[in-house]
Structure 1
Amino acid sequence: MTQNIQIQNQEFQLHPLGGLFWIEKSLLLISDVHLGKVSHFRKFGAAVPRKAIHKNFLLLDKIVADFQPFQICFLGDLFHSSLNKEWEFFENWVAKTPAEILLVTGNHDIIAPEKFKKLKVLIFPELVMDAFLLTHHPEERKDHFTFCGHIHPAIKLKGFGRDRIKLPCFFKSDNQMILPAFGQFTGTHALNPKKGDEVYAIVEDSIIKV
């Protein structure tokens, strides 16, 4: 179940897979997929199931089918490291995805830009759309609202007794929203909200404001 929010008089939908859809622009924002990370860890002997390689692509298919966007913008760390076998899966995914694909580069995006250009994936260090800044690292800029990633935000909640749970979340402050990591083989970093912050936790197939 998605969650509708309004920012700067624009309408957005938060998706429980971790993407954010800008309705007026038909633009899907996704951050920190870290494709290739599973293959990278398997190469060095980590006991990660092979089927985990395909999980991110299945989830990408799911969120694209839900929104059918005109454009998809990845907010950095699309790939975890250098080229490996998952690049071929990405090539196939791009070929069958009708949306225009944009990449705002992150610190992990070290694959040569020419590889993306051959797939007609457009690359930018950052993007400004109307009053919104799209970037990888959190950054507050005057007269702009920022959408970013990098942090892999999560929130710690207390349950009964000593029960604790950490949930990935969309973390919104006055002038910025940090998207959760989309990748299924990534960690999270718990943030402590201040007065005025808004936290939208991902709980299974739902978005819950906490």
Structure 2
Amino acid sequence: MSGHHAVSFHGATLWLLPEKAIYWPEQRALLIADAHFGKAAAYRRLGQPVPHGTTASNLAVLDRLLCSHDCQQLIFLGDFLHAPGSQGASTLGALQQWRERHSQLAVTLIRGNHDRRAGDPPAALAFQMVTEPLLLGPFALQHEPDAHPHLPVLAGHVHPVYRLHGKGRQRLRLPCFKLGGAVSLLPAFGAFTGGHGVYPGRDDAIFVIGDGQVWPVGNQATGAGGGSSGMVGSPGSDGCG
């Protein structure tokens, strides 16, 4: 795979992936926030005309990531399932088939606000269920974007997007990673999730995702950002190899 952007952040090398995930080579870990599996199905149960196939599409992307990167563990930073209506036979069947394809993979779910409402995934998926924060390396991994008393946080929940301005009234909203300060944000992995606009603070850097690429804008693009973390970034020329 190509298009990732590697950063050194708080002493850890993180690959920011255009599939809206982070690969952490030292931990052999894939980090994903806000998959919201079964969201479209939950909306259809309410009579809303939303598309079919979003769960299958998201799982296909996840399959490609796991097959292209050396992963021992997959960590969901909350909101794995969207709602109680996501626990239908079709969604759970697709998830079970996916799990069987990756039966040796250690999977951890940090419960988010939607997980508490939707309920834990079936035991057959063999997830380790934890309450935030999950401490790993230099980071506190969380769903909620709240500061940790001692560690920098990698979080989800916000579904960050960044607005690019073109000539005239041209505007483009793109999913993004927001790194820096006490709390850094991952984009929502799910394809049917929406987004919330974010802007870089003095110690933040924004990396937007588009056309299969990840690239810096704002502070990081001009050489600032990262604060005391000493963040250094470089575009990836190839995938996991």
TM-score by length of 2: 0.83
From 23, 26, 31, give the equivalent of 1:24.
26
CA distance in 2, matches of 1:49, 1:136: 27
Q: Deviations over 1:132-164 (max 9, x none)?
A: 101100021232111110000011110111111
Instruction: Pick one of 47, 51, 75 that aligns with 1:45.
Output: 47
Structure 1: where are the runs of 5+ without partners?
A: none
TM alignment of 1:34-113, pairs within 5 A:
34-82=36-84, 83-84=87-88, 85-97=90-102, 98-109=104-115, 110-113=117-120
- 1:117 equivalent in structure 2: 123
Is 1:137 aligned to residue 139 of structure 2?
A: no
Rounded Cα–Cα distance in structure 2 between residues aligned with 1:150 and 1:61: 23
Structure 2: how far apart are the matches of 1:12 and 1:143? 20
How far apart are the structure 2 equivalents of 1:53 and 1:178?
A: 23
How many Å separate the matches in 1 of 2:186 and 2:30? 12
User: As a proportion of its length, which structure holds more helix?
Assistant: 2
Deviation at 1:118, TM superposition (A): 3.2
What is the TM-score normalised by the length of structure 1? 0.94
* 1:75 maps to amino acid: L
Q: C-alpha separation between the residues in 2 aligned to 1:112 and 1:118?
A: 14
Runs of 4+ in structure 1 off by over 3 angstroms are 110-113, 115-118
The answer to whether the 8 A contact 2:96-2:124 is kept is no
The equivalent of 1:198 in structure 2 is 205
Aligned residues: 209
Whether the 8 Å CA contact 1:116–1:122 is kept in 2: the answer is no
Percent sequence identity over aligned pairs: 30
Check whether the contact 1:33–1:183 (CA below 8 A) recurs between aligned residues. Answer: yes
Q: CA deviation at 1:71?
A: 0.1
